Structure 1
Amino acid sequence: MKRKIFISLLFVLTVLISPFSGDHFEKAKAAAPVVYWEGMQLVKGQIGKLIILKPVNLWKRDHNNKLVFVRVLKPGEQYRVYQYDSMYGGQYGVGGPYFVTNVKGSVQYKTPSLHKLKLVNPELYRTKLSIGSVTKEESKVIAPGVTQSELSVNSNSGKQEIYKLDVDQKSSQITFETTLAKDQIIGFETVKSMANRKQADGHYVIAGVNGDYFDKNGAPTDLTVHNGEILTTNTTPINERTIFGVSPSGKAMIGNPDITIEMTVNGEKKKLINSVNKRRFAGHIVLYTPYFSNNTGTNDLGTEVVLTNINGKLNGNNTVTADVKEVIVGKGSNTLNKGEWILSGHAAGSEYLKTLKPGDRVEITLTYDKPEWDQVDQAIGGRYHLVKNGQAQSFNIAGAHPRTAIGIKQDGSVFVVVIDGRQSHSVGVTLSELAKVMKDFGAVEAMTFDGGGSSTMVVRQPGDLETSVVNKPSDGKERPVSNALLIVGLWKAGPLHTLLLNPNEITLFAGATYKDLNISVKGLDKANDVVAIKDPIIWSSNIGKFHADGSFTAANKVGKGIITASVGSIKANVTVNLVNTIDSIKLKQNTIVVEKGGSLSIPAEGYFKGQKIVADPAVFSYQVSDQLGKVEKGIFKAGTKDGFGTITVSYGSVKAQLNVIVGNPGSLIIEDFEGDLSNWKATGARYSNVQVMPEKNFVKQGKQSLKVVYDFIGQTGTSGVYAQKITPIEIIGTPKKIGMWVYGDAKGHWLRAQLKDADNKEIQLDFTKNLDWTGWKYVEAQIPAGLKAPYKLEVPIRYMEVNDSNKNKGQIFIDQIQAVY
């Protein structure tokens, strides 16, 4: 008895704490999501792994936390670690009540990255936000030093969806860059268009967000600096704006710099330049560069001086020299040519510029009021300073809206946030709530960019050549804006480093054969940039077999496995789930028409949890009614007799059915008026009364027909009663006529029907223009040639009168509407 107990204990220990063997991996695969680290799969609750360096004891803690010796662990073995505590000098929990003591030199503990731990144990590592609880958080590295996250939050004011980009500027060759809509101050362009227009090898746009507020012409409101050159200066009052900047060394800054620009002519006549690339106001001098537009956009009430031979960069703590090329008085909107600038003045500014003459040397000096902004490389304007010196600010400004913000952490790293708003999935946040969010994310300084419908984040996903919008803009589509802040990688494309397979997990039907698994393969370098795959891709699997023609046959058993794509030594896997059940069968046709002795394919698809998993005809069973033919390998082969019937496709108890017409089936009843007729309705034109109702006395066949009642008395113009189903009658195949039995009232009215073909073309069918009989009579209407099947009978009965002298009342009965082939 004791020996049996000991064997059972060893079996339990082997299952709980065995090294990372194949069996252990199979059990771990049940966890989701699948995350690998150092060749092993991380499982839920795991915080690291323990490598045995020297023999060490495995202990079990009993209910009193006393240690019971289990066995000696051997060097080279590895164990998942789920906890660590300080008992007994420090012990690692390796599953259940089993522990290994932290004996220096005998064990080595390793832990995966925080990013991987978050993926496996999101509830333990989820971000804490003071505006509410984070219900879902997903993160992924999209490029070296750039991580994309999405958080779903239940806040006090409602649901919030937050999109975040973390940028480690210490990572080599990652930088921020401003960009203008269409590379000009005046104009609009979407963030995605701006980002994708800037894509190039050595200049990979990884992501971007919308930037500054703007005026009706698309001009950004405040300071914009691009690659060390001022594109436009501030407009907003100093206490209503905030600027994000990046120094030449890559340091991110949030502040409120202003710049003083002065000019001299031949070393004399110092004069203030009021702005760069802004609207010209009374008495001002404005400096225009080709970044503004194709011309200055000014009126004729001023003077404009064209400068050429420009030397120097337009930035703080800099001096620029230029020569006067031309002085233009009384003419505005002069052309801004490449390599030339224009000084434009009004009133006092105009009088000053009139004193200049061609050949004069102009010197322009620029000075920031905050020295740390001298030579700033990139700058872009915003509005509200959300976090100052680590303190979240409060704002007495009502309204929850979509928001875009940027923050700087204590270590200098930067993150950008977009929050959706004005939608059911995300209501948006107030400025005070946004400040709390930025503080919770670690910002010591943070500010807003433009929000509302402008709030947009674009990201270039690994394997993509261009960016795509990741948030849901409140306009329902991306809004064109004035400028954007881009995150750029300055590396060149490198050699093939990894393979990106899409999808990374598939479900297949056990035993089925697939001509194409539809797995796409892209080659990526170390920076996740797409590179060409020059060598052949070799496919293999441990849960099926690839054939010479590229098709794949899944193993005939339920289970999990992988499909591997290999290019040389570089490999990537797709997880494969094999099932032997389906939820539904979908057929690509609901009706087929086949000549006698002919054949036609019947494509069938099996679905599991809403996903198509099998289209192999060998999986399904087929049953043909009325001995019209047979199905072999998914091909229906018609017999030698005319007829109409059905083909039933099934797997187990799951079935689907389609109609089949072989040869000429004659006539098919498409409406017999039996059962519930509540889905029929009467409408009309110029009538006193119209009705439809079941009729049980005047019946051609079966138990009831349709009674159509009308009263046109006293009406002028074309009158009519229209009887139709709420859902049009669908007609299978390509009939030549529509027929019906009509019990007439001999009132001489016009009997028609309305048909619609597959191109939505409406056709009127005439049964008779003079219904002159009483009692039952069969009538037919010809369907014109050249229409595209299938057809729908939209209005089966249109009983009409165009002659005002024949406006009367009565009733007719309709039965057995049929399609004639």
Structure 2
Amino acid sequence: MRRFQRSKKWPAMVLAIATVLNLSSFGALTAHADPLGEANVLKSEKISSGVNFTSEEYNNYYKANNRVVVNRLDVNPADSNTKIITAKAYDTISAVETIGDQANREILKGNQVIAGVDGDFYDIDPASGNPLGLMMKDGELIVSQAPDEHASNYRTSFYMDNANKPGIDQIHAEGKFSVAGTDYDVNLLNRNQAVNNGLVIHTSKLTKTRKMTHNYAADRGKSVFALIRVGNHFDGVHPGQTYTGTVVNVTSTEGFDIPDDSVVLEGVGTSQPIVQALETNAEVSFTYDLYAGKDADNHDVLKNDIVTSLTSNAWLVRDGAAVTTGDPAANARTALGMKADGSLVVVTVDKPSSSYTGSVGTGLPDLAKYMQEAGAVNALNLDGGGSTEMIVRQAGSDRPVTISHPGDVNGSRLVSSSLLFVSTATKGTTVGNVVVDKNVTLYTGSKYDFSYRLADEFGNPISGGNGPAAWASTIGTVDANGHYLANAGIGAGEVSATVDGVKGSAKVSVVDTVYNAAFTSNNVVMINNQQKQFGFTAVDASGNQVYIDPSVAAWSLSGGIGEVDANGLVSTNGNGGTGTLTATFGPYTITTNVTVGPKEQIIDNFDTVSDGTGINPSNFPIQGYHFSGTAYPTNPNAASSPYFSFSTTIKHSGDRSFKMDYDMANWSKAANGTLNWIPHWYKGANWSDDLAAAMDKSYKTDIYPKKFGIWVYGDGKAPWLRVIFKDGTNTNKTLDLTTERSKIHHFRQWRG
């Protein structure tokens, strides 16, 4: 996601830290010439007559041992029951909202949403949320191209026309405003940021308050506004239509209401006199036209029949060739491609998070190759990173749910827009599809519970049909309730459920060897008199997941810290200490340490004396920390920096806290604006080895870290707080301590 805010020198932010804050970044994965590798299809189902959903796992994604999960929609726009629409957060330009909430709003309007992905890049500043590029929704021009776009650099968009035909091209709007026989160019619509000179028309969709305001102070005080009443039948700006209206009043003061039947003509900078000259009750008119691409004579092509569009920031495939010059860093990604026959491929790729490690993410060059191999002749990169999300209404379900793994701490990020896929088919009453969940590989002897969903021929959910399902299996046994037992040796087969003569099945493989197996939790710390269920994570030689039922293993727990039952449930007692948990199945024995210890641990409190609660002071000098990021010059030593200090006047507890000053004036906005605070738990030139060893000990935790906390004395300006820590395998893990809904907006007060 492109994140940008206005440059300014911000006041100090004071921190009291209760966890590790090594704000380094993940390394990049570059594109390789290796083949894509074989896909393990985790799930594949037809969710409507024109949309198929597939979840694919690649264990050698263009590189050996490179595990990537791709969620994919194959869409046929020509299907008579398929419609593609856009959604805008709160139906408002300056707003953000989860994809799920945007879809639910469309469902309330009568649109039967069956799938969706995040859309355009946007201004992530909480004061804004404006999309990066032009957007069309239901034939209405929601927002025009940005002020920085012109004839040589219009952004590329995906669009649908009113004949339900897709396209990918550069799209821009051109407008005319007329008064008293004089025409003026007004090419911007609902753009209230970074306009220097020119005319802009705004509708009531500009802000959630339906007021004429600017998101940033730098844009205020240089405009004149005319409120123009268009009439009761005004329902937004539709390209190619001419609108007439009457000037209600002219003012240089913003903050007034924009009625739904009115628009605002804003004159910025040198265009102020045009608006200032308008007289009350003067009749005016305006119109906008859309243009997509160039004709053979290099003229703009009029394209007012576009009804849906979203803007991209980069090509992935262009005229059949993969574009391999994009960002190679492994990240979550969202992409849309169009095949030669007009069908679409829409994908999301997951990345690791604090709660998910099943996919490493992908760089744009490899994503471009994937889209090309999927058949796309043109493909675009949509918003990615923490914004990446796919929702799917699986066959037999009544609402779409998130099926990808969003990287933010609370899951779904608040985003500006989304691309949604809608089924217009009427709900039936006859069973047309039985979906059995899910394809699985099992270790021999394991138990597994299968379930099924019923849908009509269009994927709409229906009731239970004419009786319960008839279960059957070609390998192992399954009872009348779908409880399966892998008791017939190794091999491959299927488990099926049949309802009203319609059969659905899931693939089952049974194995007696695994390539690698471990506990789902390792080096676990528990508290006294606590219970925890242990299980296994395992893969076969091809990297495919193997489910091992805990009951197939023989379990034991040493150390006198508790007991473990035959199903891997550990119950600690009142003793402390460390024991060894052991599980044996077949020829495999797995062990891990289980420590019964304290409930919490203070990592760093910056104090030099006790705070009165009995907690020892950290007492590390300023040389024990350094910084990096866009807010700071190149100077790794906090001891000689004017930006870092200990504060004895503002403190949460004890006698001091850590204070960070920062200056964003030199931020180019080409990348994220970051303030990276890094403790020296490692040896180096900045301080003694003894102090480094002491901090290393303090910053290591002997408890299972279910939560991390930081007390922050906010300055009202910093929107995000993120920690990167190392797990027991020395792997970096990222955890967002704030969310889209909960940022560091508090001013001159402590919050944790």
For Structure 1 versus Structure 2, the TM-score category normalised by the shorter chain is 0.5 to 0.7
Write out aligned runs for 1:179-198 (5 A): 179-198=87-106
Q: CA deviation at 1:231?
A: 0.5
1:205-354 paired onto structure 2 within 5 Å: 205-215=113-123, 216=125, 217-235=128-146, 236-238=148-150, 239-240=152-153, 241-265=155-179, 268-279=181-192, 281-293=195-207, 294=209, 295-298=211-214, 299=220, 301-309=223-231, 318-324=240-246, 326-354=248-276
Return the match for 1:446 from 362, 376, 379.
Answer: 379
Unaligned runs of 5+ in 2: 1-30, 215-219, 292-299, 512-516, 518-534, 539-545, 555-561, 578-593, 599-611, 615-752
**Whole-angstrom distance in 2 between the partners of 1:682 and 1:571:** 52
Q: CA 1:401–1:375 in 2, change beyond 3 Å: closer, same or farther? A: same
Q: Can you list the C-alpha shifts for 1:403-440, whole angstroms capped at 9, x where unaligned?
A: 32222222222212333457776555544444433333
Superposed displacement of residue 219, structure 1: 0.4
Q: What SS does the corresponding residue of 2:383 show, helix, strand or coil?
A: coil
Which residue does the alignment assign to 2:458?
527
Deviations 1:309-367 (A, max 9, x none): 16577667512323226214232122233333222334554433344445443321222
Asked whether the 8 Å contact 1:246–1:253 carries over to 2, the reply is yes
- Relative to its length, the structure with more strand (as a share) is 1
Tell me the equivalent position of 1:375. Answer: 305
- Corresponding residue number in structure 2 for 1:801: none
Kept after mapping to 2: 8 A contact 1:302/1:345: yes
Tell me the CA shift for residue 135 of structure 1.
Answer: 3.3
Instruction: Give the corresponding residue for 1:487.
Output: 421
- Per-residue deviation, residues 696-733 of structure 1 (Å, max 9, x unmatched): xxxxxxxxxxxxxxxxxxxxx999xxxxxxxxxxxxxx
Are 1:460 and 2:385 counterparts?
no
- Mean CA deviation greater in 562-571 or 370-379: 562-571
Matches within 5 A, 1:572-583: 572=504
Match of 2:288 among 363, 366, 369: 366
Q: 2:576–2:595: 8 Å Cα contact kept in structure 1?
A: no
Partners of 1:575 and 1:222 in 2: how far apart?
Answer: 44
Amino acid at match of 1:220: P
Aligned residue identity for 1:525: D
> SS of 2:102's equivalent?
helix
> What secondary structure does 1:371 align onto?
strand
Distance in 1 of aligned mates of 2:171 and 2:349: 27
1:593-632 counterparts in 2 under 5 A? none
2:403 corresponds to 1:498: no
Larger radius of gyration: 1
8 Å CA contact 2:449–2:482 kept in 1: the answer is no
The answer (yes or no) to whether the contact 1:212–1:222 under 8 Å persists in 2 is: yes
Q: Is 1:177 the counterpart of 2:112 in the alignment?
A: no
| Secondary structure at 1:367 match in 2 | strand
| CA RMSD, Structure 1 to Structure 2 (Å) | 5.6
Taking the TM superposition and a 5 Å limit, the aligned residue runs for 1:119-158 are 131-139=33-41, 140-143=44-47, 144-147=49-52, 148-152=54-58, 153-155=60-62
Q: Hey, what does 2:707 align to over in structure 1?
A: none
Distance in 2 (CA, whole Å) between partners of 1:270 and 1:559 is 79
Q: Distance in 2 between matches of 1:425 and 1:682?
A: 30
Q: AA paired with 2:56?
A: E
Aligned partners of 2:137, 2:462: CA distance in 1, in Å? Answer: 29
**Identity among equivalent pairs (%):** 22
Once the two structures are overlaid, the 10-residue window that deviates more, 487-496 or 246-255, is: 487-496
Alpha-carbon offset, residue 507 of structure 1: 8.7
C-alpha distance in 2 between matches for 1:552 and 1:431: 43
Relative contact order higher in (CA < 8 Å, ≥ 6 apart): 2
In structure 1, the partner of 2:325 is 395
**C-alpha contact (below 8 Å) 1:382/1:448 kept by paired residues:** yes
8 A Cα contact 1:310 1:322, kept in partner: no
For 2:341, the equivalent position in structure 1 comes to 411
How far the C-alpha of 1:682 sits from its partner, in A, is: 14
**Equivalent of residue 199 in structure 1, options 84, 107, 116:** 107
Is 1:164 the counterpart of 2:72? The answer is: yes
Residue 341 to residue 544, structure 1, CA distance change in 2 (3 Å): same
Q: Within 2, Cα distance between the matches of 1:332 and 1:648?
A: 68
> Which residue identity lines up with residue 458 of structure 1 in the other structure?
I
CA distance in 1, matches of 2:271, 2:301: 28
DSSP 3-state at the match of 2:35 = strand
- Measure, in 1, the Cα distance between the counterparts of 2:478 and 2:198: 78
The 8 Å contact of residues 259 and 316 in structure 1, kept in 2 or not, is answered as no
For 1:224 and 1:718, locate their aligned partners in 2 and report how far apart those are by CA, in whole Å: 57
2:188 alignment partner AA: S
Q: Structure 1 CA distance, aligned partners of 2:458 and 2:197?
A: 53
1:32-111 correspondence runs (5 A): none
Q: 2:184 is matched by which residue type in structure 1?
A: K
Conserved 8 A contact 2:118-2:415:
yes
Structure 1: gaps spanning 5 or more residues = 1-128, 584-604, 621-645, 661-667, 672-678, 684-716, 720-821
Secondary structure of the equivalent of 1:352? helix
Closer/same/farther in 2, CA of residues 570 and 271 from structure 1, 3 Å limit: same
The offset of 1:387, in angstroms, is 2.9
CA distance in 2, matches of 1:444, 1:682: 58
Shift of 1:136: 3.6
